[in-house]
Structure 1
C-alpha cells in the first residue's frame, strides 16, 4: 500500500466580497508561498467557486497532519488579515482512499 494514504488535504474556505477579490488573491498567493517553504508541503492552490464567485478555497496537500499544523503556526501572520473571511469549519482531511494518476 502506498504511503499516499498518510497525506493530508487542507481546505480552508473563505467568503470574499467581490470588492476584496483582488486583494484576497494577492494575500492568498502570499500565504501559499509561506506554506510552500514549510517542511512536508506537497502542493497548494487558490480556487474560486464557479457557482458562487464569493466563495474561495485555499487548498494544500501535506505529508501528514503534523506538518500541516506546524505550517499553520509559521503562516499565522500571513493568514491573520484574512481570518475574518474564513468559513469556520474543520480544515484538515486525511486520505482514506485515492484513485487516479500521479502527476
Structure 2
C-alpha cells in the first residue's frame, strides 16, 4: 500500500514544515505494518512537497491512523495535504532485475474488480 500526501508549502514555511513532517514520519514509522517513508520536494517547483509512506496492507495503514500518537503527531500535518486521493493499492511490483509481480486487490470483493 502506497500513501502519497502532496502539499503546497510557501518558501517561508519550509523549515517548520520539514520539522513537522519529521515528527509525523517518526510517529508513522513506529506503527505496525509501516515499511518506509520519505519526504520529497519537487525539482521543478520548490513549493511542491510530497510525504510518501509504504505499508504492508490497507488494514495496517488504517490501524496506524487510529493510534493516539499518529492522531496527535501526524494527523494535523496530513490534514494540510491537498484534497485528492492519497492511498493507493500496489497491484504490480517490480524489483531490480526481476519480473514484475501482480497482486490481487484487497478490495476485489467490494469493488467488483
TM-score of the superposed pair, with normalisation by structure 1 = 0.83
Choose between structure 1 and 2: higher helix proportion: 1
In structure 2, the gaps of 5 or more residues are 98-113
Aligned length: 95
Structure exhibiting the larger radius of gyration computed from Cα positions: 2
Q: What are the within-5 Å matches in structure 2 for residues 51-66 of structure 1?
A: 51-66=44-59
Root-mean-square deviation over aligned CA pairs: 1.7
In structure 1, the gaps of 5 or more residues are 1-7
The equivalent of 2:93 in structure 1 is 98
- Of the three residues 32, 37, 40, the one matched with 1:39 is 32
Q: Post-superposition, which runs of at least 4 consecutive aligned residues in structure 1 deviate over 6 A?
A: none
Name which structure has the greater RCO, CA cutoff 8 Å, separation 6+: 1
The equivalent of 1:17 in structure 2 is 10
TM-score of the superposed pair, with normalisation by structure 2 = 0.76
- Of the three residues 68, 77, 89, the one matched with 2:72 is 77
CA distance in 2, matches of 1:61, 1:98: 13
Structure 1 residue 80, shift from structure 2 partner = 4.3
